[in-house]
Structure 1
Amino acid sequence: MASEAHGAEEGGLVFHPMDQFIIKPLFGGDTISWYTPTNATLWMALAVVAVIAMMVIGTRSRAIVPSRSQSIGELAYGFVYKMVEDVAGKDAVKFFPYIMTLFMFIVFANFLGLIPMSFTPTSHFAVTVVLAMLVFLTVTIVGFVKNGAAFLGLFWVSSAPLALRPILAIIEVISYFVRPVSHSIRLAGNVMAGHAVIKVFAGFAAIAVVSPVSVVAITAMYGLEVLVSFIQAYVFTILTCVYLKDALHPSH
C-alpha cells in the first residue's frame, strides 16, 4: 500500500498491467531454476488435466445420446480432423494426434487464463517458442525423411523466370527459418495484448467518474478475448497444417 501511495504521489501508475505476466515460484523464494515449480508450470498442468478430463473422462461413456462433455469432445475431434484433412491432405492424417494435442492444449491454456487471478502460459514467448520450434523441427524432419533432397524443391520456384529463381530461393529460405518466430510471436503477442488491455480498463474502474465506462469496456474486451483465445489456437493449428503440407508436398 505504501508503494502504491508513493507511486500515486509521484504521478506514476498505481497499477501495473504487465505484473500479471510475472513468473513466480509456487512455494516462495526469489530463485527460479529449470526445475522450480512456478505459476506457469501450475497452469500448464491444469490445461493438460482439463484436456484429459474432457477428451478421456468426458467421452468414456460413448453414449448414443452424448453428454455435454462428449458433444464438445466430438466437435473438437471432428473440427481438427477435417482441418488436417482439408489443408494438409489425407496423407497428413497420421499426424492428427499431434496436431489435436497442440490445438487442445493452446485452447485450454488460453481459456483458463481468462479466469480471474489465473495465469496464462501462452502469453510467454518461452512457451510459444517451444511449441513453434517443435512444429518447425517436426515439419523439417518429416520433409527430409519423406522426400530426401527433393524437399529442397520447396525453396526453388520452378514456375518463376530462371533469372529470378536464385533470388526467390534466398527469400524462400529466409521466410522458412522465420516461421517459428512469427508462429510464436503471433500467439503470445495477441494473448498478452488482450490481457494487458483488460487490466488497464480494470485499473480505471476504481475511478467513480469513468467506472461505468470501464465496466462496459472490460465486458466487451473480455468477450473479445474469449473469441481471440479460440481464434489464436485455430491460427496456430492451421499454420501447422500448412507447414506440414509443405513438408509432404514440397514442390511448387
Structure 2
Amino acid sequence: MATDANAEGGLVFHPMDQFIVKPLFGGDAVHWYTPTNATLWMVLAIVGITAMLVLGTSRRAIIPSRSQSIGELAYGFIYKMVEDVTGKDGVKYFPYIMTLFMFIVFSNFLGLLPMAFTPTSHIAVTAVMAFAVFFAVTVLGFVKNGAAFLGLFWVSSAPLALRPILALIEIISYFVRPVSHSIRLAGNMMAGHAVIKVFAGFAAITAIAPLSVVAITAMYGLEVLVSFIQAYVFTILTCVYLKDALHPHH
C-alpha cells in the first residue's frame, strides 16, 4: 500500500491499490490477451496444486511425505463433503468440485504472501466460477429430471394458497445464487486484505506502531482462517446446488 505525505503533513492511505490489475510487461492497457498480475498468480496457484496433488503424491508412499499427507487429507475432506451433501449420485462430479476448492484455497493462501496478488478478491474471477456452477447445475437438473426439475420451485408441503408466492420467491432466490455465491468470496477476501493494508499504513506513525503491528498480526491470523473458510463455503454451496439439481423436490 502506498502512503504519501499530503500538504498538511498527514498520511494518505491507498489500501485498494493492491487490487489493481496491471500488465506484466509494460504499458497500461489491459486487453483480454494481456498477461497481468492476476494471470500470474492464477498460474502460480495451478502450479502449486499440481506440485502438491501430482508430484507430491506420485510416489504413493506407505509412509507419506508432508505434501502427500496434505493432498490425501484434502482429497478425503472434499470427497466426504460431496458424498454427505449430494449422496452417491453426486460423487461422479467430485473432480470438478475438488478442482474448485483447490484453486480457491491456493489462490487465497498465495494472496497472503507479501507483494502477492489475490485473484479471488476480484468479482470477475469469482463470478466466472459462480456462473459456471450455476449454468452447470441448471443444465444438469433439466437433463437428469426434465420438466420435473421445476419441482424445485414448487413447495408442495406448503398450503395451496401460498405455493404461487413461495414459487416466485424460490425462482428469485435461485437466480440470485450466482451473485451471492461470487460476491461472498470476493468481498471477504478484498475486505480482509484492505484492513491489513490500513493497519500497515498506521505502522509508519511511531506513536502507534506497536499497536499497529499487533493488529496486523491478529488480522493476518484471521485472514488465514477466512481464506480456508471461504473456500469451504464456496465448495459446500456448490454441493448444495448440485444436490438440488439431482434431487429437485421439497
Deviations 1:152-190 (A, max 9, x none): 000000000001100000000000000000000000000
Match of 1:4 in 2: 4
Match of 1:14 in 2: 12
Match of 2:116 in 1: 118
Q: One-letter code of the match for 1:128?
A: T
Match of 2:36 in 1: 38
Q: Mapping of 1:171-190 within 5 angstroms?
A: 171-190=169-188
Deviation for aligned residue 1:4: 2.6
- Mapped to 1, the partners of 2:102 and 2:120 lie a distance apart of 13
Match of 2:62 in 1: 64
**Alignment match of 1:195 (pick from 193, 196, 199):** 193
The alpha-carbon distance between structure 1 residues 165 and 65, as it changes in their structure 2 partners (threshold 3 A), is: same
Match of 1:144 in 2: 142
- Secondary structure of 1:4's aligned partner: strand
- Which runs of no fewer than 5 residues in structure 2 stay unpaired? none
Match of 1:52 in 2: 50
The alpha-carbon distance between structure 1 residues 4 and 69, as it changes in their structure 2 partners (threshold 3 A), is: same
Match of 1:164 in 2: 162
Deviation for aligned residue 1:105: 0.2
- Mapped to 2, the partners of 1:94 and 1:13 lie a distance apart of 55
**Alignment match of 2:226 (pick from 208, 228, 235):** 228
Q: One-letter code of the match for 2:75?
A: Y
- Secondary structure of 1:65's aligned partner: coil
Are 1:75 and 2:73 matched, yes or no? yes
- Mapped to 1, the partners of 2:192 and 2:157 lie a distance apart of 42
Deviations 1:42-96 (A, max 9, x none): 0000001100000000000000000000000000000000000001111100000
Deviations 1:84-115 (A, max 9, x none): 00011111000000000000000000000000
Deviation for aligned residue 1:10: 4.9
Deviations 1:113-171 (A, max 9, x none): 00000000000000000000000011101100000000000000000000110000000
- Mapped to 2, the partners of 1:90 and 1:218 lie a distance apart of 44
- Secondary structure of 1:14's aligned partner: strand
- Secondary structure of 1:153's aligned partner: helix
- Mapped to 2, the partners of 1:139 and 1:13 lie a distance apart of 49
- Secondary structure of 2:207's aligned partner: coil
TM-score when normalising by structure 1: 0.97
The alpha-carbon distance between structure 1 residues 144 and 216, as it changes in their structure 2 partners (threshold 3 A), is: same
Q: Mapping of 1:197-216 within 5 angstroms?
A: 197-216=195-214
TM-score when normalising by structure 2: 0.97
- Mapped to 2, the partners of 1:100 and 1:33 lie a distance apart of 30
- Mapped to 2, the partners of 1:124 and 1:248 lie a distance apart of 30
Deviation for aligned residue 1:12: 6.8
The alpha-carbon distance between structure 1 residues 79 and 10, as it changes in their structure 2 partners (threshold 3 A), is: same
Equivalent residue pairs, number: 248
Q: One-letter code of the match for 2:201?
A: G
- Mapped to 1, the partners of 2:38 and 2:8 lie a distance apart of 33
Deviations 1:15-39 (A, max 9, x none): 3000000000000101111010000
